[in-house]
Structure 1
Amino acid sequence: MEYSVQFTFREEWWDARLAYERFADENTQVPPFVVLATSENSDQSQQIWMPDSFFQNEKEARRHLIDKPNVLIRIHPNGQILYSVRLSLVLSCPMSLEYYPLDRQTCLIDLASYAYTTDDIKYEWKRLNPIQQKEGLRQSLPSFELQDVLTDYCTSKTNTG
């Protein structure tokens, strides 16, 4: 079985190579952040190193490009980077329907790094309010009741690491 979801995916990380606060002095004021321009061609948008995150249970995916690419890359003076992108995904979800219509399903959004190991990248949820839901979301699913949204950690092993 499968389900579809539309959301804004955000990642933050630090890259000391991009820190620019050291250029501030009494004659030079630095901006609170710099926004990198993005392109409809994702290869041209990647002007800096970025995590190679992907969704392991993804069957189909697309980025939103109307009216402009829905992508934000913001660099802060200390080298902190915020990457935000609007995505639509179709994800696999193993469902047990033996108690239909009184069944309950647990469907995952399973995130991982494609090429890096836990020695290179460690994903951590934001401590406060890691998932924000749109107002009225629970009432907008007429045949379903969204019980809960949880965050958790897991580590997967692959042939490459």
Structure 2
Amino acid sequence: MNPCERWPRLWLGVFPTPLHRVRRLRDDASLLLKRDDLTGFGLAGNKARPLEFLMADAIAHGCDIVVTGGAPTSNFAGACAHASAVAGLDCEVLVADGPASTVPIRLARACGALVRATNGDRALIEDAIAKRVIDLELEGRHPYPVPRGGATPVGALGFASA
């Protein structure tokens, strides 16, 4: 049994994704590529993996809104908004240096996410997420913070399950 099966998971992608052998290498070299571009979850690619566990964890903890952030070009932020919508959770995306009309930000908005500009650069986005979580709690919400890229132990389960 895969140890990751002990944690709740909201299936978003089509797994397993195939392994492709790289051709035209030296005779003594062998390389396999994991084709996570074929997960089938929007534009998420391998980002679907951590999001499956993060969304399930948010639901298991009774959360009603996901708060994430990143640069305007953050594919993870757009994928997180998409996953939140599939999970039935509200989502706020905090964008460093202000929201732009990039594909990830348009995807986030199309999925119903509220996109907010932050005053600062990408390095400060974690602080902005933490502050927004406190504000939402004071409003009576139950937020689930997701750092840039879903870099948490729960998110890592997605890659461990690959």
TM-score, normalized by the shorter chain, greater than 0.5: no
Shorter-chain TM-score: which interval? under 0.3
- When Rg is computed on C-alpha atoms for both structures, the one with the higher figure is 1
* Structure with greater helix percent: 2
TM-score (norm 2): 0.23
TM-score (norm 1): 0.23
